[in-house]
Amino acid sequence: MEISNGGIDNTGSIITIKGMLSLLMQSVDDEKNEKKVISLAMGDPTVHSCFHTTHVATEAVAEALLSEKFNGYAPTAGLPLTRRAIAEYLSRDLPYKLTPNDVFVTSGCTQAIDVAMALLSRPGANILLPRPGFPIYELSAAFRHIEVRHFDLLPDKGWEVDLDDIESLADQNTVALVIINPGNPCGNVYSYQHLQKIAETANKLKTLVIADEVYGHLVFGDKLFVPMGVFGSTVPILTLGSLSKRWIVPGWRLGWFVTTDPCGMFRKPKVVERMKKYFDILGGPATFIQAAVPSILQQPDEVFFKKTLNLLKQSVDICYNKIKEIPCISCPHKPEGSMAVMLKLNLSLLDDIIDDIDFCFKLAKEESVIILPGTAVGLKNWLRVTFAVDPYSLEECLDRIKSFYQRHAKQLQRY
Ligand SMILES: *Cc1c(COP(=O)(O)O)cnc(C)c1O
């Protein structure tokens, strides 16, 4: 039996991060290796006890559940009180006010991505995605038969978007361009000016912008977080986000799909009708988790936020400094936000390593260290490291990578 669409299924060629990680885990040599496995590849910091959500959030969920008022279905677009709370939360950083009708509650940011793809798909459509990027976009686009075109992020310019690339890739069938800010996998944070240029470019090309702000406010460098929605009057924007990263609760599956579009392009009756119908298929996340959202968003636990940012900053510093001791790896841009960084691999300094995938599999086998090869996020011979790891494990990991390098370093020729 074939469950694909007339032989044009192209999902098979896409490696998901989870798929790659399970292959890497299998190659850890348990028998020869007494070292504990440490992963710098997972996007889930809850495995490290130092990354712990705030009691404000857990108490809000417990209270909602114990009230027994939220055991029924919610409207499929989300509970009205949840939509209002998200609208108010996002409006704090915007020059205009969002309404509850602009907000649709999703099962994490992952589902918000898939909703965007479903709503934008039509015959011949293409979408512009960043390289390196977040592979869920490629996978979701493939299921919707939306053609993917990649534009580069520029490592020497703080991973800014290559706007010339965007102009040359877009045509009348381009339905959107995707921006991830703060960035995964690069740890970039875009300036107001750069976001403005992106908005102007999108407007010129008559395409909308999907702003993945799942790491919104997780910034610890010199730049402030500016939401793309600030430029909603220049170009219509779909803002995607969730509680997962800032509140460190990825398992709660509470996200949002928001039309940040003060000019009202998404408020046309036909568009609204179509969006509503699509949400009827999805059904929405658990009602009691939705009911906890107002308490969580209205009582920002600043001590908790500060603690998380300090931890991330400390991890980035460890990472950045330790990497300087490993000649075959370099970091072109120190992360200013999110939880991930791209590191460049210099294969000419290594003796028996063919590429980034080979590097990661040998590293897993010999040192029980799991790192994601850059190929999995679109950049060959780079590495993606997640630094939302407790500082001791991170140091240990980087020490192991250093000894791996020393064992595989190309021997200098003697004359
Ligand atoms: C983690 C992540 C998501 C998915 O978020 P969930 O709320 O866990 O579904 C989406 N986009 C990016 C860039 C991410 O890093």
Mean pLDDT of 380-401: 95
Mean pLDDT of 350-358: 95
Query: Is residue 161 located within the same domain as residue 256?
Result: yes
Query: Is residue 35 located within the same domain as residue 138?
Result: no
Cβ–Cβ contacts within 10 Å for residue 34, how many? 7
pLDDT tier, 415 (very low <50, low <70, confident <90, very high otherwise):
low
Here the CATH number for the domain that contains residue 402 is: 3.90.1150.10
Residue 110 Cα to ligand 1 midpoint, Å, equals: 6
Q: Per-residue pLDDT for 339 more than 60?
A: yes
Residue 254 lies in a domain: yes
Q: Which of 103, 249, 235, 123 is CA-nearest to residue 179?
A: 235
Residue 284 lies in a domain: yes
CA-113 nearest atom, ligand 1: 10
Mean pLDDT of 9-23: 77
Here the CATH number for the domain that contains residue 238 is: 3.40.640.10
Residue 49 Cα to ligand 1 midpoint, Å, equals: 20
Residue 1 lies in a domain: no
Give the per-residue pLDDT at 44: 83
Name all residues whose Cβ lies below 6 A of ligand 1: 43, 108-110, 134, 180, 184, 212, 214, 242, 244, 250, 255
- 2 or 239, which is more confident: 239
Q: What is the pLDDT of residues 199-256, one digit of tens each?
A: 999 999 999 999 999 999 999 999 999 999 999 999 999 999 999 999 999 999 999 9
Mean pLDDT of the chain: 93
> For atom 12 of ligand 1, which residue has the closest CA?
214
Contact 103, 94 (CB under 8 A): no
Query: Which range of residues forms the domain containing residue 274?
Result: 55-298
Give the per-residue pLDDT at 6: 46
Mean pLDDT of 107-131: 97
CA-241 nearest atom, ligand 1: 7
pLDDT above 70: percentage of residues in the chain? 95
Q: Phi/psi zone of residue 108: left (φ > 0), alpha (ψ -120 to 50 degrees), beta?
A: left
Residue 240 lies in a domain: yes
Query: Is residue 207 located within the same domain as residue 340?
Result: no
Q: Structural domain tally of the chain?
A: 2
pLDDT above 90: percentage of residues in the chain? 84
Residue 213 Cα to ligand 1 midpoint, Å, equals: 9
Query: Is residue 207 located within the same domain as residue 62?
Result: yes
Residue partners of 210: CB distance under 8 A and separation at least 6 = 113, 116, 176, 177, 178, 179, 237, 238, 240
Residue 60 lies in a domain: yes
Residue 128 lies in a domain: yes
